Amino acid sequence: MAADRAPAADAAAEVIRTQVIVVGAGPVGLLLAAELCLRGVRVAVVEQRHGPTTESRASTLHARTMEVFDSRGLLPDFGGPPNEPRGHFGGIPLDLTLPGAYPGQWKVPQNKTESVLEEWALSLGADIRCGHRLRLIAVVQDGDAVEAETVARDGRPVRLRGSHLVACDGQDSTVRRLMAADFPGRPAGRELLRADVDGIDIRARRFERLPGGLAIAARREDGVTRVMVHESGAAVGARTGPARFEEIVAAWRRVTGEDIGGGKPLWVNRFDDENRQLADYRHGRVLYAGDAAHRQLPTGGQALNLGLQDAFNLGWKLAAEVAGHAPAGLLDTYHAERHAVGAAVLANIRAQSELLLGGPEVEPVRAVLAELMRYEPVRARLAGMISGLDVRYDFGGAAHPLRGARLPHATLRVGGSTCTTYELLRSDRGLLLVLGGPVPAAGGRWAGRVDRVAARVEPGAASGGLDGVRAVAVRPDGYVAWARDGGPEAGGLTEALERWFGAPA
C-alpha cells in the first residue's frame, strides 16, 4: 500500500480513537457515516468546512436514490419534493418515467439533501467534526490501522486512528492525492460557466444550442435565475482562479446577445468535462466513494446519485468487516460492483458531453439519436441508465431475472397489515422474503443478520413483477442475492446467505 509519511510526533496533538474515519461531510460521507452508525460502528467524520455548504450544486434525486431513502424511512424529511419526469440525454428531451414507486426525477437542492443526511447521521451517533482539514494520512507500521492527521480550526493538530478510512472528500480529494492513487481518464476539454443571478429577467432556455455555444437559463421559485453558458471552441485554458461573474456576463453576451450584467450574482461557479475514475476503489484499509472516486461532468444529477449509491453499497459491507463477521472477499466486492457501475455512468456522461457541448458536427448524431429515442425500448434503456434503476450486479450463479437486480417496489400483506417491500428493508439487516410455501429452514441460522418475513403480494396492488416469485433473499442494500420461483427445492439459498452474510452465527 502506498503509505505516506507517518503523522508528525506532537505531544500536544489530540488523539481520537474510532473505528472508521470518514473524510468529508458532503452527501456521500454523511450517508456512509449513517449507514455505519446504524450498524453500531463508531465513526468520526472530519470536514474542512466550518458550517453547512452555501453552494447550490446538484438539485436532482433520481428514482434509485429515492428508493434508497425510502428503505431508510427518510422520505418524509424531504417534505414531498416535486417530481419532474422530463429529463434529458445530452440535452435531447427524455421522459424518465419507468415502473416503480418513484418514476421521474425529484427536485431537491443539494444542501437540503445534506441537512437531512447530517441530521440522520447525528441522531445515530456519528461524531462529525467541522473545521478539520485533513493534511496527511499514514498507514501505521503495524498494518492493522490507519492513522490520519487533521488541523483543527484553532490550528491544533488532531490525530485520528481507526481500522479503516473512507475518502469522501470530493473531486479534488486530498486522500487520493496523498495516497498517489492512480486516477486515469481524460483531461478537461470543455468548460461551462455558471451563476445564480438575482434581478434579471431573461427567457428560460433548457438546452439552447446556438452558433456560438450552449445557453441554459432557469428561473427558480424565489426569482433567482441560474444561467449556464459554454462557448463553442473556447479552450479550458490555464485558469489560475475561480470563475468571475464578469466572465459569465461576457460569455453570455457573445453566445446569446443578451446583457445580464445588471444582475446580482449569488453564486458563481465553473465546471468542465474532465472524466476520470480511480483504478481501484480500495487500497487496503483506505476506501474511496463519491466524487473522490470518480470525476465527471455533473450533467443530469448523475454524479451525486452515483456517489450516494457508492456509500449505500459500502456501508453494510464495511460494517460487517469492522464487526468481524464479514465473509472473505465481501469488502472487495465494493470495488468490483461500484467500479463497474461507475465506468458505465462515466461512459454515458462522456457521450452526453459530446452531444451537449459539441459543435455543429454533432448535429447529425443528435438528429439520429432523437429519432431513435422515440422508440420505447430505447427511451426505457436510457431512462434506466440515468435513474440508476438498471443497475444489475453480476452475482454469478443460477440465473434468475431478479438476481443481482434491486428488489422491486411492491405492496405486500404481512399478517393482518399491508406494507411495501421498501418498508421491509428498513433495518440494518438482510431480508429473506417468503411469498408462498414453507419458510426455508436455512434462513433461521442467520437470525440477527437476516430478517425472515412471510408475506404475499397484495391482490390488486403493485406487484413490481414479484408475481410467481416464491422467495427472495435480499442484501441490506436492497439487491437480490437469491430468488426462487416455485418447486420444493430451495437450492442455492445457503450458499447465497454464506456468501453475503458469512458463516451462520
Q: Using the 8-state DSSP alphabet, how is residue 99 labeled?
A: S
Closer CB to ligand FAD, 225 or 269, in the complex: 269
Indicate which single residue of 87, 162, 301, 440 sits in contact with ligand FAD (rule: CB under 6 A).
301
Q: Is 404 in the site for ligand FAD (CB under 6 A)?
A: no
The CA-CA-CA angle for residues 199, 204, 207, to 5°, reads: 130
CA 457/CA 420 separation, integer angstroms: 9
CA distance 178 to 175: 5
Element (H, E) at 473: strand 471-474
Q: Which of 180, 209, 173 is nearest to 354 (CA)?
A: 209
Residue nearest to ligand FAD (CB): 26
The reply on whether position 26 binds ligand FAD by CB under 6 A is yes
By rule CB under 6 A, what string of x and - marks binding of each residue 69-108 to ligand FAD? ----------------------------------------
Total binding residues for ligand FAD by CB under 6 A? Answer: 34
Q: Sheet containing 264-272: give its strands across.
A: 205-210, 213-219, 225-231, 191-198, 264-272
Comparison of 101 and 293: residue with beta carbon closer to ligand FAD: 293
Round to whole Å and give the CA distance between 252 and 194: 10
| Residues sharing a CB contact under 8 Å with residue 180, sequence separation 6 or more, in sequence order | 2
**Which of the stretches 22-30, 101-109, 242-250, 415-423 binds ligand FAD when contact is defined by CB under 6 A?**
22-30
Beta-strand ranges (E) seen in 132-260 are 133-139, 146-151, 157-162, 164-167, 185-186, 191-198, 205-210, 213-219, 225-231
Q: Pick from 29, 87, 100, 478: which binds ligand FAD (CB under 6 A)?
A: 29
Q: Amino acid identity of 155?
A: G
* 287 touches ligand FAD (CB under 6 A): no
Kindly state whether residue 111 participates in binding ligand FAD, applying the rule CB under 6 A.
no
Residues 353/189, Cβ–Cβ less than 8 Å: no
E strand map for 6-67: 14-17, 20-23, 43-47, 60-62
Taking the least distance from each CB to ligand FAD, the nearer of 272 and 390 is 272
Under DSSP, is residue 118 helix (H, G, I), strand (E, B) or coil? helix
Beta strands (DSSP E) in 90-181 are 92-95, 105-107, 127-130, 133-139, 146-151, 157-162, 164-167
Query: Does 420 contact ligand FAD by CB under 6 A?
Result: no
Shorter beta-carbon distance to ligand FAD: residue 55 or 394: 55
Q: Cα–chain-centroid distance for residue 394? A: 19
Residue whose CB is less far from ligand FAD, 23 or 248: 23
Pairing of strands 225-231, 264-272: unpaired
**Using the rule CB under 6 A, which residue among 22, 23, 61, 94 binds ligand FAD?**
23
Among 133, 177, 366, 400, binds ligand FAD (CB under 6 A): 133
Binding mask 219-248 for ligand FAD (x = CB under 6 A): ------------------------------
Between 312 and 500, CB nearer to ligand FAD: 312
326 binding ligand FAD? (CB under 6 A):
no
**What's the closest the beta carbon of residue 194 comes to ligand FAD, in angstroms?**
7
388 binds ligand FAD (CB under 6 A): no
Q: Is 149 in the site for ligand FAD (CB under 6 A)?
A: no
Among 70, 149, 191, 291, binds ligand FAD (CB under 6 A): 291
Nearer to ligand FAD, 32 or 425 (CB): 32
Q: Binding to ligand FAD by residue 120, rule CB under 6 A?
A: no
Least CB distance to ligand FAD at residue 141 (A): 23
Query: Going along 239-377, which residue ranges are E strands?
Result: 264-272, 275-277, 282-283, 286-288, 294-295
Please tell me the distance from the alpha carbon of residue 62 to that of residue 300, in angstroms, as a whole number: 9
Amino acid identity of 345? V
Considering the complex, what minimum distance in angstroms separates the CB of residue 55 from ligand FAD?
A: 6
Binding residues among 156-185 for ligand FAD as defined by CB under 6 A? 168-171, 174
Question: Is residue 48 within the footprint of ligand FAD (CB under 6 A)?
Answer: yes
Positions in the binding site for ligand FAD (CB under 6 A): 23-29, 46-49, 55, 57-58, 60, 110, 132-134, 168-171, 174, 269, 271, 290-292, 298, 301, 303-304, 307
